[in-house]
A and B are shown apart, each in its own frame.
Chain A
Amino acid sequence: MARLIPAGVRPWRGVVLGAAGLYFLVPLLAALVFTVDVPNQGFTLDSYTQIFSADGFTTALLLSLGLGLTTVALALLLTLPAALAVRLSGSGRLRAVLEVVCTLPLVVPPVALVAGIGTVLKWGPDHLASTPLYETFVAVQDPEFPIVLVLAYVVMALPFVYRSLEAGLRAVDVRTLVEAARDLGASWPRAIVSVVLPNLRTALLNASFLALALVLGEFTVAQLLGFQPFAVWIVQASGSNAQLSVAVSLLSLVLTWVLLLVLTAVFRTRAARSARAPRPAKNRSDKNKKEAGA
């Protein structure tokens, strides 16, 4: 790659890299120092050891992970079949409709969304107290696992999930692949599972990661509806113990990075397995020539 960059530009790469590194690393280092260097106590790792015994830490983390995974599953279950169906139908109008619907949540601020949800949730005690629907309203708001949050998160994740899937779908000719598979004896479901989904791997993983990251860091909706997933817990913990909350933030950052690295590593090995040799355009025409001469 280096030889593609003109020599005059090369020193600037270091400058840009250094500036970006400073921008990201200085706050992190400051946070780290803050957590390990307590006034009057000197160096201590107390903040980190405290995390695991802190009140509500495990519950909040597990709740966030649970919400995240459920959101991913539901969002994919909604968008994937829709996006595939629209592709296979070849209808440009349907595709435009789907695109608008899936992008719309992006322009609705979470605060507005939560205000609407709050209003609807109030109907429960106000109007439905005597109907069986009231039970549903209660169940949906179970603090152990608030389904209402999942519903809100699915809406919020929709643009990201849809965009990633679309990018993946653009790269493959879904229709021809399905037809080829059907011609070879695969039923419709079989064609989707054994031919389309494997080729959408990257897109599916990207979509999942974006949705998961969104849920793990979401504060506004959960806080305003009165639930306590991880992000809300961090803010509350910071009120009682500043060092502890910063330590948790750092840790969650590291966790997210690890998750990202693992996913990237998974792609790398996959890509390496299927692309041991790159194929620049020159190679291809050479191959063609060889074949023509054969």
Chain B
Amino acid sequence: MTITDAPARTGTALRIRGLRRTFGSAVALDGLDLDVAPGELLALLGPSGCGKTTALRVLAGFERPDSGQVLLDGEDIVPVPANRRDTGMVFQSYSLFPHLTAAENVAFGMRMRKVAAAERRTRAAELLELVGLPDHGGRYPHQLSGGQQQRVALARALALRPRLLLLDEPLSALDAQVRVNLREEIRRLQLELGITTVFVTHDQEEALSMADRVAVMRGGRLEQCATPAELYDRPATAFVASFIGTMNRIPGRLASDGQAEVLGVTLPVDGPAGGATAFLLRPEALDVTADGPDTVIGSSFHGASTRLRVRLADGTEVKADLPSHAAGAFGAGAAVTVRPQRRPVLVAGEEA
């Protein structure tokens, strides 16, 4: 899923240290630490209210943190007002200036910096070409589709060659197909320009497919920051495990040798076991065979794979992904046996 191209690491290093922001009694950021490498695309992912948007707004200078530092190439930019920061931002809602054409929107930042008119025009045309809208410079925002508007917004954010690109759920208002296209294009541009980027999203698919690393946030704190693959395969906490992808929580017990016994299969445990009574398994880590104590209660077709919902003998409901050709044999009501594959399992916390 990750779009892998040779990254051009030329950008700016961003370091966030102990960022705290409260709104009245609500804590939006509770001591956030993050490092973003030069040219890296970091996704801030989490449920709404986890503080990811506040974090981005602090980076842009729209919110002042109660305490903490934002270091851009080692320099703390917290005291710098938003209009003198070297950041380019693309907003969630359509934020193009309605009274200006696409080209004028792109040139706005240069106008503020008193760049000569001729140079502004050239650069605006260049940027519109870059985002694939070379012929749309004369259009007004309301004459552009949602996807086109966000492309122009991206060109506008890049016009001043910012050191840091901030994306605040820029795709959430778009149709599914446009969204997928545009996210690939944003990623391509970001790699091409080698610009350090922080991307806020609540869509895990978006985060996993675009980002070099994903920072999962919860309650104003960082739960885990890792590559998409690591996040999926080795979630550090039960919250991450349940938030990223689908997880089955299956009762089991801990054998004396520290191994887990789940559905009659002994499996190695990943991480500290404690006094575990339940384990986490991905739908694709479960095998389903004909006959047995478990019952299929439903299925949904996803093209290459089919997801079965199965009620285990003890009443637990689990989801299992099978190749569609294999799943065809199991209709609703079929008696089956669910067995975990021999892979390390995670211990389920009390929450999840």
Contact = CB atoms under 8 A, between A and B. Distances in A.
B93 A173 contact: yes
Contact of A186 (B112, B142, B145): B112
Interface string A257-294: 00000000000000000111101000011011101101
A184 B112 CA distance: 7
Contact of B178 (A274, A276, A288): A288
A180 B181 contact: no
Contacts of A181: 97, 108, 112
Given A279-B142, A292-B178, A198 B109 contact: no
A168 to B, nearest CB: 12
Contact of B95 (A180, A186, A279): A180
A137 B52 CA distance: 58
A186 B83 contact: yes
Instruction: Identify which of B82, B142, B159, B178 gathers the most chain A CB atoms within 10 Å of its CB.
Output: B82
Given A179-B95, A184-B88, A288-B147, 9 more contacts: A183-B61, A183-B89, A184-B83, A185-B83, A186-B108, A199-B97, A279-B142, A291-B145, A294-B132
A185 B142 contact: no
B103 to A, nearest CB: 14
A294 to B, nearest CB: 7
A187 B85 CA distance: 12
Interface string B84-123: 1101110101011111000000001100110000000000
Interface of A: 172-173, 176-177, 179-187, 190-191, 195, 198-199, 201, 274-277, 279, 284-285, 287-289, 291-292, 294
B112 A185 contact: yes
A92 to B, nearest CB: 15
A190 B148 contact: no
A183 B60 contact: yes
A242 B292 CA distance: 106
A172 B87 contact: no
B330 interface: no
Interface of B: 60-62, 81-85, 87-89, 91, 93, 95-99, 108-109, 112-113, 132, 140, 142-148, 156-157, 159-160, 174-175, 177-178, 181
Contacts, number: 100
Given A275-B142, A288-B175, A190 B89 contact: no
A185 B91 contact: no
A288 B91 CA distance: 19
B91 A179 contact: yes
A183 B88 contact: yes
A195 B181 CA distance: 30
Instruction: Identify which of A180, A181, A277, A284 gathers the most chain B CB atoms within 10 Å of its CB.
Output: A180
A180 B83 contact: no
A162 B128 CA distance: 39
A287 B136 CA distance: 13
Contacts of A294: 132, 181
A176 B147 contact: no
Contacts of A182: 61-62, 81-83
Nearest to B140: A274
Nearest to A290: B145
A292 B175 contact: yes
Contact of B109 (A177, A185, A279): A185
Given A172-B98, A190-B112, A199-B99, A184 B156 contact: yes
A241 B212 CA distance: 87
B87 A288 contact: no
B91 A180 contact: yes
Nearest to B106: A184
Contacts of A184: 83, 88, 108-109, 112, 156, 159-160
B93 A287 contact: no
Nearest to B91: A176
Nearest to A283: B145
Contact of A277 (B87, B109, B143, B177): B143
Contacts of A186: 83, 108, 112
